[in-house]
Structure 1
Amino acid sequence: MSRSAPVGLLLALMVLLVGCRSAPESPSSGSGERAPTASRIWSTDGPPDVIPPGLENQPDPVPRVEPRGARGNPKTYRVFGKTYRTMESAEGYYATGLASWYGRKFHGRSTSSGEPYDMLQLTAAHRALPLPTYVRVTNLENGRTTLVRVNDRGPFHSDRIIDLSFGAAYKLGFAHRGTARVRVEVWSPDGAPAAEARSDRVLAEVPAPPHRFVLQAGAFRNLASADALKASLERLTGSRAYVVRVSNEALYRVRLGPVESEAEALRLRSLIIDANLDEPMIIRE
């Protein structure tokens, strides 16, 4: 649709409500890799001057098998004094929380993956998922859903789980507000939730059968590192943690749970993040 004056004014005003993106510091010594470079301080961002007709109806990107990017995937990086760890695999990722968006201030600039940012395309930034990764994002307030390609790092606010392009936020119906509560799940190239996702998941706001939830807090190639994180999680949460060997990937995954409710899983996830013990992903069993 063409932008009208009231809509443009409203979108411009909403910039004040949208979160900050920040410039990563240099990675800690010994990492041997540069930190992601795309996320910067957001002070004067906003929507495009003209919103193309039909932007809310643009088709989803088609997931395809892509190699892990050479850029944007250091094992760790630092932002505002906090260390973030990137995930070796996106398998089974599932999370709910707040999404924000970023727009014209970053249009044309390089993303963490090295690709130019196009605010009208269906892309996203995530703190930990491998770049690139395809995820399905559902606005839990109106049921709208879209696939996006994650090719950037951010947002660096602990209360937000993903930063969407303006085009994605517009398609999901919250560009005028700045943030929305969403569900995010990894999507595979065959058009289905990735490996550990179940066929009975729903993408609309309809009742779902009861599930239990597990938090995956880390994945290591060294068993001693996995055991150390397991012990730290149990001390912090008082809940059972365990290590799972993934033989075909030579990885040791550290998991916590299961718990009976998503609310409890989200509480534990926040507790772990606040203790700087990585950023767990929630897996629905």
Structure 2
Amino acid sequence: MNKQTGLILFAAIILTACGSAPLHKDEMRSTPAPVIEAQTTPLTQPKRGGYWEGDGPSANAPANLDAIPNAVPRVEPLHRFANNQYTALGKTYTPLTMLSKFKERGIASWYGKKFHGKRTASGEVYDMYGMTAAHPTLPVPSYARVTNLNNKKSVVVRVNDRGPFLRERIIDLSYVAAHKLGIVDNGSAEVLVEVESLVADSNSNIQTQPIGVADSVIVTPLTPATTLPISSESSATSSNVYLQLGAFRSQQSAESFLARMNIEFEGSGKHIELYQKNDDIVRVHSGPYPTQDEARAVAEKLQLRLGFKPFVVLH
């Protein structure tokens, strides 16, 4: 098993107000920044290292990855939907929507060409050679400084996606960011995360487009599967029994999560899809399953494998 690598992540958030217009720079300087102490994730040895099968660098990778510049922090409005509360794999996340400091300790990982070209939670296309990262609750967009305590290398990344959601990871780095930190071959490494409120340089490109308060979301309750009638053969048809993996207010966040689940379920033979009823919640479903009993059996296996238990739904 690879030796675990120590990292420290200093994340610099550039936010705008949560009201109807972005903060001006003088307002950002005068706004006190409350400190949020996140619960520390147990620092266990990473369960896997190296690349996902078929992942890693592409054949036409840039010649000098180390020369790719860091992300440059600038004032940006909060994304309208990517900062809403959401549920993924049985856990509800409430993203930060205010200028604040944040500390967290846990495991960092990276994602590569299997996600390259796919949409992120912000709607932007993921570029594995861009200095970006995904985090479950840091504001989208925001900026983070990541320093490898073992080799003292550091990078600045722009948080524009949601995740990771499995294996006690707390942040997913782009391939090039992980490469520059020296953690690509291990696949993951221990990190310490700290987010600081900063003010962009006066010469930076400040976006002034007004934004609204992040819309509140009613998260679909993760009702136990036993709320559905239990029988050896449900009256449901073979095409309408599914497992629910997540629920999002944002279509883009749901699509980003869908891409992650397609990688996680690769080779299982089960289809992962988006589903929306007559409401504004976009759900991520796996299936279909022939019967409710079979779906529940799969849910039990997923609980052992991934640490969460999806519940049965009928279309």
Question: Which TM-score applies when normalising by structure 1?
Answer: 0.50
Higher radius of gyration, 1 or 2: 2
Question: Which TM-score applies when normalising by structure 2?
Answer: 0.45
Using CA pairs under 8 Å that are at least 6 residues apart, name the structure with larger relative contact order, 1 or 2.
2
